[in-house]
Structure 1
């Protein structure tokens, strides 16, 4: 077999390799999956666009995650030498793909921000990530992470925890699919999005993880508080 090239695990790629290996070595990772009817979520995004504000699905979902976290505090924790520290503030890391690298800087205090404010902060993080201008505090300050593969054909996946965080949420593509309507009998076509959740099973059991994912799915399907007022 002829070798055509060599990918060296050094520099930024080496750091990523080290972090991924550390995450899998230090945690017991377990993933959960569901589908949601994304109709209301898409309508909320459309309403922001009609209002002249550029908002991405990550911004809407980050806000929904912050709302759900109030009921599931163990998911908003960071492991330390003393144990897992639970936080009141929700700092949502948003994964950003760069050439040969992946970073997830934190949008701080998402629970205090409006959707439009989240969008501004996230866009600033994306712009500075491309220029290599993110701070260490931004790169390490998240308490939970969102990673988005919605622009691909991937529907569900097993995102690896951003150690020492306790949870990471994966967003799959939105596509039209058959969906059983609320009456339980009528088959309709809806815009359906896949959601994935990985947790550290050392601290979070399957039941609470299922409850968290269900609560997030319900919040996104209702899109309460995600549209312009």
Structure 2
């Protein structure tokens, strides 16, 4: 009896998928490292719930994070840099790309001047971009010019993951879901909410101390954001 092997015809890559494949292959050549920390979002979740109860349109945790990252990038320009064969480039503007998966495609629309926008303003722009992605009306200009990328899989129940650098950018931030954690402080055990932040960085531009300081700045910026005031 002769065995037959079932063969399938490989799918043809779209132009977008070819670009993604090329960039992901390039990212494997980057000498990268990863630094992680948890971000306490207990207060933010409480304020967001209060704002929504009062009838306000509260920014999402991702909107807050994009705002905080934008401000932290301004304070840590190397993390906002990009690699160049002659050295590296320090970008003077802060444009944050937010990875969005849609119908088998991975697109990264860009929130421009994220360091100058409030969480509510970022929420409005992110909604516009996400709607354009879903509707297939996203333009090339909306997808160009990012100096840093955020990939958030928290809404899919992911606790922690590592993202691949979007070359030639210096770094990418992977964000997990807000999850319950136990906190023991001053002799008291309490329930809090935390989300993981995992920064993968190009070691040719960013060093370990730079990455740690950047994540600390993100946490400080988040602590300084008042959602009740922003949602008013």
Give the TM-score normalised by structure 2.
Answer: 0.86
Deviation at 1:83, TM superposition (A): 3.4
CA distance in 2, matches of 1:51, 1:177: 29
CA distance in 2, matches of 1:118, 1:2: 53
CA distance in 2, matches of 1:94, 1:192: 20
Deviation at 1:87, TM superposition (A): 2.1
CA distance in 2, matches of 1:82, 1:128: 37
Matches within 5 A, 1:73-152: 73-152=77-156
Partner of 2:190: 188
What do residues 160-182 of structure 1 show as CA deviations (whole Å, max 9, x unaligned)?
1111111111110111121223x
Describe the SS at the equivalent of 1:228.
helix
Q: Are 1:40 and 2:67 matched, yes or no?
A: no
Deviation at 1:32, TM superposition (A): 1.3
* Alignment root-mean-square deviation, CA: 2.3
Using the TM superposition, name which of 73-82 and 30-39 deviates more.
Answer: 73-82
Deviation at 1:3, TM superposition (A): 5.6
Describe the SS at the equivalent of 2:159.
coil
Distance 1:90 1:2, change over 3 A: farther
Describe the SS at the equivalent of 1:73.
coil
Deviation at 1:30, TM superposition (A): 1.1
CA distance in 2, matches of 1:3, 1:219: 56
CA distance in 1, matches of 2:124, 2:210: 32
* Structure 2 residue runs without a partner (length 5+): none
Describe the SS at the equivalent of 2:176.
strand
Deviation at 1:2, TM superposition (A): 6.5
Partner of 2:207: 205
Partner of 2:172: 168
Q: Are 1:56 and 2:55 matched, yes or no?
A: no
Using the TM superposition, name which of 76-85 and 58-67 deviates more.
Answer: 76-85
Which structure has the greater CA radius of gyration? 2
* Structure 1 residue runs without a partner (length 5+): none
Deviation at 1:136, TM superposition (A): 2.4
Describe the SS at the equivalent of 1:55.
coil
